[in-house]
Amino acid sequence: MLIKYLRSVFSVTLILFTIAVGIFAEPIPFTLKRGIPEIEVIINDSIKATFAIDTGADQVYIAKTFAEKHGLLSGGKMPVRPVAGIDDKAEAFQVFIRSMEVGRVIQNVVGAVVLDLSAVVKNSSAGLPDGLLGYSFLKSRRFLLNYIDSTIEFTINDSILAETKSTPIPFVLNRHLIVVNAEINDSVDAKMILDTGASYSLFSPALAKLLNIKDSTDTVKIQLAGKVTTANVKIFVRDISDITASVKNNAIAGMMGTSYLRGRRLIVDYPNNQLLIFSNR
């Protein structure tokens, strides 16, 4: 009788464990309605919000109007030093929220910067999310952004990495930004920022001149690690001195966003400073 009972308990435990693992590993859907991956998060156990996954942001940001509406400033706010990429007129406050739930990933006591997000989002013409999940949240994580199935997974293990059969692409962190070496059109080497919070890709005027790109209707082929190739990437050309000045690196020649990543799977492995970009798993 005792053995039968123990078997029953073991079976129930195994079923619950299997269910729990399945739930934990379940991919989180995202949308690209504004051209950048946005997911649902839950703040303080009950407040639902839409946040963008933004490797170009240095902090967790929350829109000021959203923070005010949901009482996130009631626990006190502290002015912060000027935030990278915004002008001195944008008022910013640091707050601490009790918890943030992203799928089954729960982080307690999260520091966030509250401000008008139009000051940091590159293109706000399609509206703004409620917040951004930036480097301070992502820096210790390894995650898969699946632009084919529109999902993100925060439970990437070594076996998944092996299954990709992809060449790891090393990156360096320039402050909080991911910088990779790229070859453009099989002819020009350039240091590029990979920014999941940008819907477009852009080149500096100097890089565009080297490649004989005349306007923003031109497309290019971008190759990383000698193998990962994306052709027909639409490029915008503009002065990027605001970016190079904010990170104090004049060697950066451009940025790659959703127009480069669309149709691919991207693993960002912050602990090992590497990317894996692939079409199939």
CATH classification at residue 191: 2.40.70.10
Residues 174 and 272 both lie in one domain: yes
Residues 181 and 269 both lie in one domain: yes
- In the predicted model, what is the mean pLDDT of the chain? 83
Q: What is the DSSP letter of 7?
A: H
pLDDT digits (tens, 9 = 90+) for 215-251: 666 889 999 988 888 889 999 999 999 889 888 899 9
Assigned token pair, 28: 């989180």
Report the half-sphere exposure of 18 (CA within 13 A, side-chain side). 6
Closest C-alpha among 162, 273, 148, 167 to residue 229: 167
- CA 10 remoteness from chain centre: 40
Closest C-alpha among 238, 257, 141 to residue 192: 257
Residues 254 and 162 both lie in one domain: yes
Residues 112 and 181 both lie in one domain: no
The range of the structural domain enclosing residue 74 comes to 29-139
Residues 135 and 174 both lie in one domain: no
Residues 240 and 175 both lie in one domain: yes
Structurally, how many domains does the chain consist of? Answer: 2
Closest C-alpha among 145, 150, 173, 177 to residue 276: 145
pLDDT score of 6: 30
What gap in Å lies between CA 14 and CA 225, rounded to an integer?
43
Residues 128 and 224 both lie in one domain: no
pLDDT digits (tens, 9 = 90+) for 27-38: 999 999 899 999
